[in-house]
């Protein structure tokens, strides 16, 4: 029923608000009825929470995720959902321990490593300013997370590409390793578009420049023909002329630096993070001002992006 509901937004003939509202009422009423008799069914709580989140009701959704978390605190998907909610609420630091715990609970799930790495990249300044991690440790950990995601799902192009790109976000990481990663990407995905292949060449060329291998870099960069990449191509060629050798050596580092590992992927969740997670979870539960949903006082509609949104009336004792 839920999948069919969301498929309505893809129909050539868009459904009316009345039709969407009726179907949304059916779904919400069905969940409410089931959960009234099966209040400890974690899977149902998660599914209902995901439904509410997808229709723009994050404040309602988090209640069901918190309830699921109180029943079983060892569910990575629930930690992820709570962390996502905190970010949407402008509380990225509070989200940190939840994302960390997803890795401890399901260390073999590449999506959690990938998500955490992107989180570290996006909220680098906030995490460093709050002294949760220093900059060097954060960048090394981010690189490790991208690498772990790519190794757990080697056929996922997005994971492999972002891992290769992450070396540009981590200047102290081994440039020799970066070169190997870009080479592996090029070999592993030979059927990408010509513009993507040219992009790979520019990235590899940049690494070669940082390794002071100018001749190889220039030959590779000059082979790029994609018009939209012309400015980047010319910029890199200009660097060949203006970068001094001592600057390149400083970027590349000595052999020991080039061959060093980016950091051991060991203890995931030290006690301070666990304490913070418990604190944030308790605070979220105290903030739960939303009562039971009422299926008879909701309205569904398509937003400007063609996505289904559901709104609940204040008559149900809740606010949007």
Assigned CATH class of 2-171+263-316: mainly alpha
- 315 vs 235, higher pLDDT: 235
Is 287 in a helix, a strand, or coil? coil
- 13 vs 177, higher pLDDT: 177
Confidence (pLDDT) at 16:
78
pLDDT surpasses 70 at 91: yes
Cβ contacts of 154 within 8 Å, gap of 6 or more: 160, 188
pLDDT surpasses 60 at 300: no
Confidence (pLDDT) at 260:
35
Confidence (pLDDT) at 106:
97
> Lowest-confidence range among 41-50, 296-305, 310-319?
310-319
- C-beta atoms surrounding 267 within 10 Å: 8
Q: Where do the structural domains in the chain lie, given as residue ranges?
A: 2-171+263-316, 174-262
- 171 vs 275, higher pLDDT: 171
Q: What is the mean pLDDT of the chain?
A: 81
pLDDT surpasses 50 at 200: yes
Q: What is the DSSP string of 199-256?
A: HHHHHHHHHHHHTT-HHHHHHHHHT---GGGHHHHHHHHHHHHH--HHHHHHHH--HH
pLDDT surpasses 60 at 254: no
Confidence (pLDDT) at 263:
32
Average pLDDT of 204-215?
93
For tokens 């060093």, what's the residue? 260
CA–CA separation, 197 vs 126, rounded Å? 35
Can you give the pTM of this predicted structure?
0.76
CA–CA separation, 227 vs 234, rounded Å? 11
Average pLDDT of 260-274?
35
pLDDT in tens, 1-40: 677 766 766 777 777 778 777 888 888 888 999 999 999 9
Rounded alpha-carbon distances, angstroms, from residue 93 to 24, 84, 282? 34, 11, 15
292 pLDDT band (50/70/90 cuts)?
very low
* Range among 182-196, 224-238, 296-310 rated most confident: 182-196
Confidence (pLDDT) at 143:
97
pLDDT in tens, 108-152: 999 999 999 999 999 999 999 999 999 999 999 999 999 999 999
pLDDT surpasses 50 at 227: yes
pLDDT surpasses 70 at 232: yes
Confidence (pLDDT) at 249:
53
């Amino acid at each position: 029923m839920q999948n069919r509901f969301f498929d309505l937004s893809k129909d050539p003939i868009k459904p009316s608000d009345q039709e969407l509202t009726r179907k949304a009422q059916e779904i919400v009423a069905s969940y409410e009825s089931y959960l009234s008799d099966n209040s400890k069914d974690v899977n149902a709580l998660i599914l209902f929470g995901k439904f509410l989140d997808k229709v723009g009701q994050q404040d309602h959704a988090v209640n069901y995720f918190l309830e699921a978390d109180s029943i079983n605190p060892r569910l990575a998907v629930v930690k992820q959902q709570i962390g996502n909610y905190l970010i949407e609420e402008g509380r990225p630091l509070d989200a940190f321990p939840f994302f960390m715990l997803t890795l401890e609970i399901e260390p073999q799930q590449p999506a959690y490593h990938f998500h955490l790495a992107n989180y570290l990249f996006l909220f680098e300044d906030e995490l460093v300013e709050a002294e949760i991690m220093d900059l060097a440790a954060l960048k090394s950990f981010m690189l490790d997370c991208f690498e772990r995601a790519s190794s757990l799902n080697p056929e996922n192009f997005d994971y492999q590409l972002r891992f290769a790109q992450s070396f540009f976000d981590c200047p102290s990481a081994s440039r020799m390793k970066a070169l190997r990663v870009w080479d592996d990407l090029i070999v592993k995905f030979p059927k990408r578009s010509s513009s993507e292949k040219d992009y790979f060449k520019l990235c590899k060329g940049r690494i070669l420049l940082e390794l002071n291998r100018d001749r190889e870099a220039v030959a590779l960069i000059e082979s790029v023909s994609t018009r939209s990449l012309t400015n980047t191509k010319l910029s890199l060629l200009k660097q060949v002329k203006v970068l001094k050798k001592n600057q390149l050596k400083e970027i590349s580092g000595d052999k020991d630096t080039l061959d060093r590992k980016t950091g051991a992927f060991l203890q995931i969740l030290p006690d301070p993070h666990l304490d913070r997670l418990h604190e944030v979870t308790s605070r979220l539960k105290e903030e739960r001002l939303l009562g039971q949903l009422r299926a008879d006082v909701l309205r569904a509609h398509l937003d400007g992006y063609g996505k289904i949104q559901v709104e609940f009336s204040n008559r149900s004792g809740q606010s949007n």
